[in-house]
Amino acid sequence: MRADDYLPHRDPFLFITELRSVEPGQSATGAWQLTGDEAFFAGHFPGRPTLPGVLMVESLAQLGGVAVLADPAYAGKLPLFGGIERARFRQQVVPGDLLELEVTLGRMSARAGKGSGRATVNGKLACEAELLFVLVDAAPPAEG
């Protein structure tokens, strides 16, 4: 089972390199192995490459998307960011780190939902955030 079995994201914007567990509509765990070859490290920051915090949040959102889309009730839907709350960045993440990801979904409806995520490196908290998302049709509306 791979993240791209559920998500429309593809390289270079698919950040989950390992999907470990999925409880459809409930939770998911996974990881992002940072190799140092990612293009953003060259500019963020030269001489001291650091994973941008917004990409940590995006990796959590992608994992949350897996948990949502694994639920047959949301077939044909696409979760989009509706908001990010209480995001905190606790530690620098660098090339070679394995970012461990976990997301738990909260309140869900046919049109929106909430989730909370945590990212750790070697058991130490790197990032945590509450994620809000809206559900839209996966296929774009027909032009007419």
Which CATH number covers residue 95? 3.10.129.10
- Of 125, 95, 116, 104, the C-alpha closest to 32 is 95
Are 18 and 33 in contact, with CB atoms under 8 Å apart? Answer: yes
Q: Is 44 a catalytic residue?
A: yes
- Of 75, 61, 72, 59, the C-alpha closest to 113 is 61
Q: How confident is the model at residue 140 (pLDDT cuts 50, 70, 90)?
A: confident
Tell me the pTM: 0.95
Between CA 17 and CA 8 the distance in angstroms is 14
pLDDT at 141: 72
Q: Is 144 part of any domain?
A: no
Of the residues 9, 20, 44, 118, which is catalytic?
44
- Of 4, 16, 31, the C-alpha closest to 122 is 31
Residue 130 tokens read as: 């509450």
Q: Is 143 part of any domain?
A: no
Query: Which tens digit of pLDDT belongs to each residue from 54-101?
Result: 999 999 999 999 999 999 999 999 999 999 999 999 999 999 999 999
Domain coverage including residue 55: 3-137
